[in-house]
């Protein structure tokens, strides 16, 4: 989780992107790691706590994971804090509207994200999960359900995803242990991911 820098914005203008949207997306959305693991009838969502401003670490213990709808749904974000909280609020409202139906809520939020002009400006990604289903909601309004129940976003996402998939296939670890180990590996590799973890489990 990081902030857009003036240097990125200037570079974007020079490249013919006056809004600086590509640089903003790259610098904000990718500077964190969120991992979801659904394995052996357990669902775990894990996120690191690092917040960066440009190239400076300004916070070590941010909480990027939340429990929603009477603790039956987990949600985690990668992106700017303000935009992510706005999406949390929208998603929580959808859960209330559809009485905790995760799939319907995610579909409706993705639809709004595609069609609502204000939502389209939000720079964030969400992973949402319950005991049965996991979804990734992207900044373009895409809705993705991973085949194996394991998905990750952020700059350390590919490292966490690879580690979690390998551990799920070739170890006897449970979902929480897989998430902890995979996040530690991501933190060792990605400079925008630290070892201060928030882990929630269903």
CATH number (domain holding residue 67): 3.60.20.10
Q: Which of 25, 32, 43, 140 is catalytic?
A: 32
Q: For residue 125, is it within any domain? A: yes
pTM over 0.85: no
**Is 1 contained in some domain?**
no
The more confident residue out of 85 and 62 is: 62
The kind and range of the H/E element at 116 are none
Does residue 50 form part of some domain?
Answer: yes
Give the total number of structural domains in the chain: 1
Structure confidence at residue 51 (pLDDT): 86
Q: Does residue 30 form part of some domain? A: yes
Query: What is the C-alpha separation between 78 and 119, in angstroms, rounded?
Result: 15
pLDDT digits (tens, 9 = 90+) for 13-44: 334 444 433 333 334 444 789 999 999 999 99
* Residue 41 within a domain: yes
Beta-carbon contacts of residue 164 (< 8 Å; ≥ 6 apart): 35, 37, 150, 152, 178, 179, 182
Domain that holds residue 55: 6-201
140 part of the active site: no
**C-beta atoms surrounding 166 within 10 Å:** 14
């Amino acid at each position: 989780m990081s902030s857009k820098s003036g240097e990125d914005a200037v570079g974007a203008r020079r490249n013919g992107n006056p809004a600086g949207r590509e640089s903003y997306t790259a610098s904000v959305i990718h500077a964190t790691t969120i991992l979801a693991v659904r394995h052996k009838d357990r669902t775990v969502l894990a996120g690191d706590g690092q917040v960066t401003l440009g190239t400076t670490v300004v916070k070590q213990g941010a909480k990027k994971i939340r429990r929603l709808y009477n603790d039956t749904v987990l949600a985690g974000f990668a992106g700017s804090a303000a935009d992510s909280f706005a999406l949390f609020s929208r998603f929580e409202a959808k859960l209330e509207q559809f009485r905790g139906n995760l799939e319907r809520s995610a579909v409706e939020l993705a639809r709004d994200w595609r069609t609502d002009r204000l939502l389209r400006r939000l720079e964030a990604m969400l992973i949402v999960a319950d005991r049965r289903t996991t979804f990734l909601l992207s900044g373009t309004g895409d809705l993705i359900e991973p085949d194996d129940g394991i998905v990750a976003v952020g700059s350390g996402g590919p490292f966490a995803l690879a580690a979690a998939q390998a551990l799920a296939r070739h170890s006897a670890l449970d979902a929480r242990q897989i998430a902890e180990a995979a996040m530690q590996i991501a933190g060792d590799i990605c400079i925008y991911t630290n070892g201060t973890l928030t882990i929630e489990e269903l």
